[in-house]
Amino acid sequence: MNGPANGTRVESARIEEADSELRTDPRWQLIERITASPCFQKSARIRDLLRYMAERTLHGQVQDLTEHCIGSSVFGKPQDYSVVEDSSVRVQVRQLRLKLHEYFDGEGREEPCIVEIPKGAYTTVFRSVEKHAAAEPAPLDALLEPRTRLRLLPWVLASLFLVAAVAAWFYRPASATLSPPPWPLAALFTPHNRPVQVVVADVNYGMTRLIDQRPVTLEQYLSPSYRSGDDITGAHLSEREERMMKYLSGSLLTSYADLVVVSTLLRVSGTARDWLTIRSARELRPRDLEGGSFVFVGSPSSNPWVSYFQNKLNFQEREGVVGESPKFFENLHPKPGEQEKYQGLTFTGSSGEDYATISLLPLPSGRGNVLILQGLQQEGTEAAGLFLADPDNRRKLQSALAITDATAEPVYFEVLIRNQAIAGAPSATSIIAARVINP
């Protein structure tokens, strides 16, 4: 009689046999080489994603390769999460495609097989690379009779002219419209630190702070209990507020200001625009900051990762009662003519003066840089992105920092800017103070 224990042993044996077959499959061995390569070492989430997708593909379990299944199985999303409101799987798959491209352009360029993730799908495609030995061509004179050569000459000349015309056509607009990223973005687009990850604000977090009315540290923000909303729901919240908190804990939202900043970065990144990737602050982990290039969008009250670098900055965001007191930048070391604090708008969407800072800093590891664009309100964050897109503003910033075009090494800095907001739209931006940072 076969009992439960015997059934379990049979199932375990079947799984072990399947895994043994997988380990001997050359395609899986390629996956192992890819995930062990240096370009995959910085992100365990990307490695797990590739291994999951490849394993299910090779086992023929395509029913598991849906966005919802991947979110639950790989990223630990709850079973009832919404793929419409949470785009993290799509973001991670786009990053995986970039990583695969980086691998096969570098360390894996001699691989006999290429791994691809087709757009709009989550299956893993293994495509063989055919390499033909270059045969020495026979002389044209030996292949063609003199009369035939004379008859083909006009067609050969016409073909050469067409090839030259097409090449000139495609080369001309590319060289005319695209250029390298300008300073200070150039400090991010280094060959060994690509892609550049733009980490947008977590609007859910900002709304949660307003409902809960208490500040949250980065450590608390990263805790599973805070992410799930367990730390927030309680007796002081109404039933309606608790429903809102549950919605916020399971969705990904960002602001219009962040979209403007991302659009601006794409426009000014020139030939390097394809290396920009977008991530939510909710998806980032401390280990991700061991190396690479980053742009943080938002202030600590909407993007908690900015607080990770707060002790390096002179202008630091402050607020009193969350959701009730206006926020301001504290000037830790005022210079002559500067104020001790710069207070912005009470609420986003209103009119008046608002402030923002633009900062370029090295990562703590020294293996990469981060550009921080933070406004006291959304108008300030939007103004910071638009400020960098203007060549005249960049020249003014270089002048304020005494930076010349001949500067080879990155110059780390922070600058405080002021803008006039009119019904939520920033305008008339000017530099208030600037600091060179010596890490």
Domain spans of the chain, in order of start:
17-128, 185-202+254-436
Would you say residue 247 has pLDDT above 70?
no
Alpha helices of 178-255 — where are they, by DSSP H?
203-212, 218-222, 224-228, 239-249
Measured between alpha carbons, how far is 278 from 271 in angstroms, rounded to an integer?
17
Answer yes or no: same fold for 17-128 and 185-202+254-436: no
Distance separating the N- and C-terminal Cα atoms of the chain: 72
**pLDDT at position 140:** 40
Task: Give the pLDDT band of residue 131 (cuts 50, 70, 90).
Answer: low
* Cβ atoms 375, 365 nearer than 8 A: no
Q: What is the CATH number of domain 17-128?
A: 1.10.10
Measured between alpha carbons, how far is 152 from 175 in angstroms, rounded to an integer?
35
Q: What is Dmax (Cα atoms) for the chain?
A: 97
Q: Which residues pair with 396 in a beta bridge?
A: none
Task: Give the pLDDT band of residue 373 (cuts 50, 70, 90).
Answer: very high
Would you say residue 250 has pLDDT above 80?
no
**pLDDT at position 18:** 46
Measured between alpha carbons, how far is 262 from 197 in angstroms, rounded to an integer?
11
Residue carrying structure tokens 């001699």: 110
Cα dist from 129 to 110, 113, 394, whole Å: 9, 5, 46
Q: What's the rounded mean pLDDT across residues 54-81?
A: 86
Q: What's the rounded mean pLDDT across residues 177-189?
A: 82
Q: Residue 225: which residues within 8 A CB-CB, separation 6 or more? A: 231
Cβ-based burial of 359 (10 A; exposed 0-12, middle 13-18, buried ≥19): buried
Query: Around Cβ 412, how many Cβ atoms within 10 Å?
Result: 20
Question: Which amino acid is residue 179, in one-letter code?
Answer: S
Measured between alpha carbons, how far is 370 from 363 in angstroms, rounded to an integer?
7
* Superfamily of segment(s) 185-202+254-436: Chitobiase/beta-hexosaminidase domain 2-like (3.30.379.10)
**pLDDT at position 412:** 94
Q: What's the rounded mean pLDDT across residues 37-59?
A: 88
Measured between alpha carbons, how far is 44 from 42 in angstroms, rounded to an integer?
7
The pTM of the whole model exceeds 0.85: no
* Cβ atoms 374, 318 nearer than 8 A: no
